[in-house]
Structure 1
Amino acid sequence: MARSSKILSGADVPARREETSLRHRPEPQNGLIYDLDWNAEERLAEWHAVLAETRGQPVVLRAAVLLEAWSDIEVLQHATWLGPLLVASLLRQEGLAAHHLACIHLGAKSIPRERRRARNRGDRLADAFAKLLGTSRVTVNARRQSGQVLGIDGAKRGFRFPVWQLDKDGRPFEALPALHAMLGNSAWAVYRFLVSRHGALDGRTGLQALQQGDDAAVLAAAEGMARGDFD
């Protein structure tokens, strides 16, 4: 229970290694049973990001999103049961009964699977972001390729589109294409620039400066970074 509370609070909790037994599991891990490239810490960090992004949402809605994200991200190879327990712990912390999970499961089962899930996770993420923009997944991917929107490559799990790249009117920040061009058309470089603090921006992150309408300063800071200037 204490470990669950730490995970839900966003604390840095390393993924628990499954107990090893010569009787129950071969050592080293068998590649036919375990994905040897599985990075549980990275996947848990991705679920933590969803946990942070959903703060402020109605509790039951947040629980449904987190439960779906746990299944979608596939955080642990052989402990899928832990996700519902974490979400139940969240509901208890918020003073709601864990029995809400049964309602969430029943509601999800009432929707045909083909409507709930696209063929791959990348399509689902692009579809969700497209709805925010009032456009199509094809258009979102075209804008990602041209640098008009920020799409973070999740390797085997498709592209993620951070919601915070939208301004108060729900449109992608106008500076994004220029940022991509200045930073070598690398989405990860743009992401790191936006979430990091910069001396050239008076200690603000690139994102904070964009949210305050300071596009010129943001582009000047990105240009300096591209030249190798130190903040």
Structure 2
Amino acid sequence: MNSASKLPVVVLISGNGSNLQAIIEATEENLPIEIRAVIGNLPDIIGLQRAKLAGIETAILSHKTFPDRESYDHALMKLIDSYAPDLLVLAGFMRILTPGFVRHYAGRVLNIHPSLLPKYTGLNTHQRVLDAQDRLHGASIHFVTEDLDGGPVVVQAQVRVETDDNAESLAARVLQKEHLIYPLAIRWFAEKRLSMDEKGKVVMDGKRLEKPVVFAPQDSIG
């Protein structure tokens, strides 16, 4: 597939970039996207090294040099738009985005969250699941809206919570699922099977998705 027929994508990261790596590997196989740039808000993060090793252009725009979120997001939008992406992928981008930023890219931003949304928005999801004694946990891919972790969910993958789990062991199993469902959701978007309509609803294969696609713990993904 030539680059002209691939979906142009920009990825935003703040850390290790393991989901970025999963997306890069899927792209090297047959995921029909072109990652035009990986942008980090912190220097010296592993995710940027992953991108460089894959021959992908990288950029750093530190939020620490801006007086407020609005000015940072304005500069970030200008940088992103220089790559003309059709999709933004947040892969561990630890910034709360301003409403103006979200509106600018409405329907073109996907995020991953380590819980079965709408449960456990925010941080420390794995420990919160253990504290609540839930039997199922997992990961969600959702479109980004102005509501933090509150955009419409596209796909989820569940994992069982074992009696001997701690936050680290649970996080590791959830991460394995993340690496599968994120490239899958991106593929659906690239193939024009997935979109978000003007009312903020997920559309899949021409029909509104009343509830997310859910992969149970025993299901194969992909």
Q: TM-score, normalised by structure 2?
A: 0.29
* Larger relative strand fraction: 2
Higher relative contact order (CA 8 A, sep 6+): 2
Q: Greater CA radius of gyration, 1 or 2?
A: 1
* Larger relative helix fraction: 1
